[in-house]
Each structure stands twice: as structure tokens, then as C-alpha cells.
Amino acid sequence: MTALSLPNESIFPYLTPIELFKEKDIVKVCAPMVRYSKLAFRKLVRKYDCDLAFTPMIVANSFIKSIKARDNDLTTSFDDKPLIVQFAANNAQDFAEATEIVAPFVDGVDLNCGCPQRWAMAEGYGASLLKKSDLLCDMIKQATSRVNRADFTVSMKIRIHADIRETVDFCQKVEKMGLSFLTVHGRNKYQRCEPVDFDAIKIVKDSVQIPVIANGDIRSMDDVSRVSDSTGVDGVMSARGILANPAMYSGFFDTPLHCIQDWVDIALSLGTSFSIFHHHLILMLEHLLPKAERNVFNSLASTSAVLDFLRENVGIK
């Protein structure tokens, strides 16, 4: 079911993002991940104590121009809540129009200001926006003006600048434009595997009044506690960690078999494409299978072959 055709009569009790930040000591978040944080995976992690989920990044310009793009990019359901749509945009009009389209069906929108990939930077998306605070202030202002809902959030996901003083100045400027909360990835746009700078995240948290989510190398509840204690943030966001172990927020150090079974059931019931269905399993099974068996599983080319392998080798129906 697409987000733009949800039945009005569907009622599902849940906490909005604003309520989550008020009521929980630490909000546990599933990151926006291209190809991976789609409906089936969001449903899975919600079963294992994930409080808030994001869609994959959606290019706002294509989204507002094409109904087909909307149907392909944004699929949800009445119980897929709370949900935030992340957009890539490079101008205020596109971001505001995309926000207005999705506002009746989701709980907020998020502007990607952290993607360091070359294609995104070349198009003026992602981390290229970090040096354009005036433009970003206009984008936030126009998006918030399009939605007349007190519980609707307009947020932003960023990477830090090499000079943390730039980041603080940047964050304080966009906060004044009505930003609801901020997610901070503790690396700059040139870094990939370097250690996350949690000290920088703490400085950002201490410099603004809105909630702050820490992102980067969150792989277990031990990491959640450590980062929460050291930074004082209001939430944590996991990407690679939750892909490898969708049950991490429930305290599991590795993906339990019943979580793998849940993935199979959910993914098949929603008609998930084979490539996504299979790749999620590759990540979940890495700790369970010896290298030789992993090589066999990773080379499988059909859903039936995957199900046969899981039944014979893992005990998954």
C-alpha cells in the first residue's frame, strides 16, 4: 500500500517523534538507508524495540514530479509508525512541496545533509549543503510553513565540519528556523571508517535546545548506553549495526533465529524483491554460518533456493 492511499479509518496507537523525545530517556532509531530501510525491514525492527524509523533517502525533485516515483519510493502501512521520510533536496521549493505531499500520511520529514557520495555532492545534495546555511534556513522555514500540524517534525541529518565551531554555528542557525530535531553523524564528509567523534556530538548537543540523535558505529545496547552517557543525546541511530542484527535494540548481540524467521515471514508477505530479501539475510546470517556455507548461501539466485537452504541448514521454515 502506498503512503498516498492509506485508509483514513486506520487507527494505530503510537507515540509521535515529539512524544518519544519527551517520554523516553533514549530514542532508538533505524537509519535511512538506500534500498534497505524499506517497509518490510521497518516492520521487522519495530518488533524488536526500535522506536522510530526512517524511509530510505528519496530525491524530492523526482518525487514531486512523478506519481510513479512516489509509488516506487514510498510504501507504508497503517502500523508503520512513527515514520519519517528523508528527502534529498537542493532548493527550498522542492523540499517544501515534497513535505506537503507526504505530510498527511507520515510523522515528519528529514533533510539529508550528510550523504558524502560523489553523485549526491555533484547534484548539490547531502553533505554539499553543510556550507550553505542560508539556503538550509530557507528550506527549513518553507517546509515548516507548509504543514499545519503541531506534531509534525522537520528534521535534518548532518555530518560534522572539520572545525566543530562551524558545526555549532550551523546548527544554531537552522534551529532558529523551526527545526524539530537533529541527527549528527560524528564524521566529516571526507571520513569513512575513522573513529566517530562523540566529543563533537556532545558539543553539538550542548549548543542547541532541540533533541539531538547520535549516529555512527551503534551496534549494540552497550553502545547505546555508552554513547548516551558520554554525550547526553536524546536518541541513537543505527545503520550497519541494525542491518547485521535487526534485534539489537532488544538486547541481542547477534541476530536470533526467531528474528530471521520473522524477516522471512514479513518479507515474503509483502512481496519484497529477491535482491533485497536475500541481501538482508546475507547480513543477518554472517555470524551463524561457516565461511564455506556463507559462500554457498551468498551465491543463491532464487527465493526457493534460499528457503530450501534456510530449512536444511538453519532450521528456518
pLDDT tens column, 142-177: 999 999 999 999 999 999 999 999 999 999 999 999
Nearest CA-CA partner of 110 in 213, 35, 204: 213
Q: Is the dihedral of CA 166, 116, 32, 221 positive or negative?
A: negative
Which residues does residue 27 pair with via DSSP β-bridges, in sequence order? 235
Over residues 294-300, mean pLDDT: 97
Distances (CA, A) of 251 to 50, 94, 285: 11, 40, 17
b/e burial code for range 231-246 (CB count within 10 A of at least 16 → b) = bebbbbbbbebbbbbb
**How many whole angstroms separate alpha carbon 117 and alpha carbon 104?**
31
Considering the chain, what percentage of its residues have pLDDT values greater than 70? Answer: 97
Q: Quick one: pLDDT at residue 68?
A: 86
Residue 271's contacts (CB-CB under 8 Å, 6 or more residues apart) are none
The answer to whether 54 touches 37, Cβ cutoff 8 Å, is yes
DSSP track, 214-250: EESS--SHHHHHHHHHHH--SEEEESHHHHH-TTGGG
The DSSP secondary-structure symbol of 196 reads: P
One-letter amino acid at 105 equals F
Q: Quick one: pLDDT at residue 6?
A: 56
Whether the predicted pLDDT of 268 surpasses 60: yes
Q: Quick one: pLDDT at residue 66?
A: 87
Whether the predicted pLDDT of 10 surpasses 80: no
List the catalytic residue out of 30, 50, 113, 115: 115
Whether the predicted pLDDT of 279 surpasses 50: yes
Which residues does residue 83 pair with via DSSP β-bridges, in sequence order? 53
Backbone torsions φ then ψ of 75, nearest 5 degrees: -125, 135
Which residues are documented as binding site?
32-34, 86, 185, 239-240
Q: Quick one: pLDDT at residue 9?
A: 47
Whether the predicted pLDDT of 2 surpasses 60: no
pLDDT tens column, 80-133: 999 999 999 999 999 999 999 999 999 999 999 999 999 999 999 999 999 999
Which residues are documented as binding site for FMN?
32-34, 86, 185, 239-240
Helix (H, G, I), strand (E, B) or coil at 165: helix
DSSP track, 7-68: -TT-------HHHHHHH-SSEEEEPP-TTTSSHHHHHHHHTTT--EEEPPPEEHHHHHH-HH
Helix (H) or strand (E) holding 307: helix 303-313
Q: Quick one: pLDDT at residue 71?
A: 87
CB neighbours of residue 101 within 10 Å: 19
Whether the predicted pLDDT of 313 surpasses 60: yes
The DSSP secondary-structure symbol of 75 reads: B
Residue 67's contacts (CB-CB under 8 Å, 6 or more residues apart) are none
pLDDT tens column, 30-71: 999 999 999 999 999 999 999 999 999 999 999 999 888 888
- Model confidence at 77, pLDDT cuts 50, 70, 90, reads very high
Nearest CA-CA partner of 254 in 220, 226, 295: 220
Q: Quick one: pLDDT at residue 5?
A: 55
Question: Quick check: is 115 catalytic?
Answer: yes
